[in-house]
């Protein structure tokens, strides 16, 4: 949604405005998720009543959905590669694949949340519930925003409004998408894999 530079074709640093802006924004996002993860770590093992993490985590299940999200980074790279080569049919295929993998991940998260709630873990049950749902929920919201952007790109490409000269748009969404993936790797490691 950021602007194309109208009047200055080249910039003082040589980096495109939108790319630099996206990098700055992602730097900010690091502290956003950093603060959430810090809260989760602070409250690890401090809930006064269950269910506790070991009661509800299904590591194999979450590993599979993490793998799905990781694969979506690969399809994202392929989408960017396609538009840079001018192959718009493949671009749309890979964009759609990335979005579908993302939807699968978010769907898996929604399912996981419902299972946890059925097992008695809610936002207001204990500190684990509060910090877990808010951290992973914000991540899921970020993935959802990414899916919306991917589908927008897909729609634009269908309407013929995503020519190769605008490959940067795909690159920007890709930057965001990879960042959200990396954050998930950190969350999966810190939240699910390291025992309390």
Partner 1 sequence: MASVAVTRPSFFRRPRATTGLAAWLTTVDHKRIGILYGATAFVFFLLGGIEALLLRIQLAQPNGAFLDADTYNQVFTMHGLTMIFLVVMPLSSAFFNYLIPLQIGARDVAFPRLNAFSYWVFLVGGIFLYSSFFLGGAPNGGWFGYAPLSSGEGFLPGTGMTYYSIGLQIVGVASLASAVNFIVTILNERAPGMSLMRMPVFTWMTLVVSFLLLFAMPVIAIALFELGFDRLFGTLFFNPAAGGDALLWQHLFWLFGHPEVYILILPAMGIVSEVLPTFSRKPLFGYAAVVFSGIAIGFMGWGVWAHHMFTTGLGPVANTAFALSTMFIAVPTGVKIFNWLGTMWGGSIRFTSPMLFAIGFVAMFIIGGLSGVTHAIVPSDFQQQDTYYVVAHFHYVLFGGAIFGLFSGAYYWLPKVTGRVLSEGLGKLHFWLMLIGFNLTFAPMHWLGLQGMPRRYYTYPEEAGWGFWNLIETVGSFVIAASILVFMVNLVRSMSRGREAGADPWDARTLEWSIPSPPPHYNFAEIPDVRHRDELWHRKYAEDERGRPVPVVAGAEHHDEADDEEEHPDIHMPDPSYFPLLAALGLPVIGYGLIYFWPVAVVGGLITLAGLFGWSLEPVAEE
Interface residues with partner 1 (CB under 8 A) are 1-8, 11-13, 15, 17, 20-21, 24-25, 27-29, 31-32, 35-36, 39, 42-43, 46-48, 123-124, 126-127, 129-131, 134, 138, 152, 156, 160-161, 163, 165-166
Q: How far is the CB of 14 from partner 1 (least distance, A)?
A: 9
Structure-block tokens of residue 118? 């059925």
Q: How far is the CB of 84 from partner 1 (least distance, A)?
A: 17
Q: Residue 102: name the closest of 53, 58, 59, 154 by CA.
A: 154
| Distance between CA atoms of residues 149 and 74, nearest Å | 17
**Closer residue to partner 1 (CB): 68 or 144:** 144
| Distance between CA atoms of residues 124 and 143, nearest Å | 24
| Distance between CA atoms of residues 54 and 44, nearest Å | 12
Enumerate long-range contacts of 159-162, CB under 8 Å, 24 or more apart: 162/83, 162/88, 162/91
**Closer residue to partner 1 (CB): 21 or 53:** 21
Q: How far is the CB of 55 from partner 1 (least distance, A)?
A: 17
**Closer residue to partner 1 (CB): 69 or 153:** 153
Q: How far is the CB of 130 from partner 1 (least distance, A)?
A: 4
Quick check: 145 and 103 in contact, CB under 8 A?
no
Quick check: 119 and 58 in contact, CB under 8 A?
no
Q: How far is the CB of 125 from partner 1 (least distance, A)?
A: 8
**Closer residue to partner 1 (CB): 104 or 164:** 164
């Amino acid at each position: 949604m950021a602007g194309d530079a109208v009047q200055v074709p080249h910039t003082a640093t040589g980096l495109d405005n939108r790319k630099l802006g996206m990098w700055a924004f992602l730097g900010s996002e690091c502290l956003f998720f950093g603060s959430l993860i810090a809260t989760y770590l602070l409250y690890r093992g401090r809930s006064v009543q269950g269910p506790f993490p070991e009661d509800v985590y299904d590591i194999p299940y979450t590993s599979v959905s993490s793998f799905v999200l990781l694969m979506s980074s690969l399809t994202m790279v392929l989408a960017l590669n396609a538009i840079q080569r001018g192959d718009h049919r493949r671009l749309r295929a890979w964009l759609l694949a990335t979005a579908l993998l993302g939807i699968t991940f978010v769907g898996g998260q929604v399912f996981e949340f419902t299972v946890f709630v059925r097992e008695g873990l809610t936002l207001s049950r204990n500190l684990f519930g509060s910090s877990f749902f808010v951290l992973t929920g914000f991540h899921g919201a970020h993935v959802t925003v990414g899916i919306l952007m991917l589908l927008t790109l897909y729609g634009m490409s269908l309407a013929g409004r995503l020519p190769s000269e605008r490959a940067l748009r795909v690159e920007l969404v890709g930057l965001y998408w990879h960042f959200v993936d990396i954050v998930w790797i950190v969350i999966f490691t810190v939240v699910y894999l390291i025992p309390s």
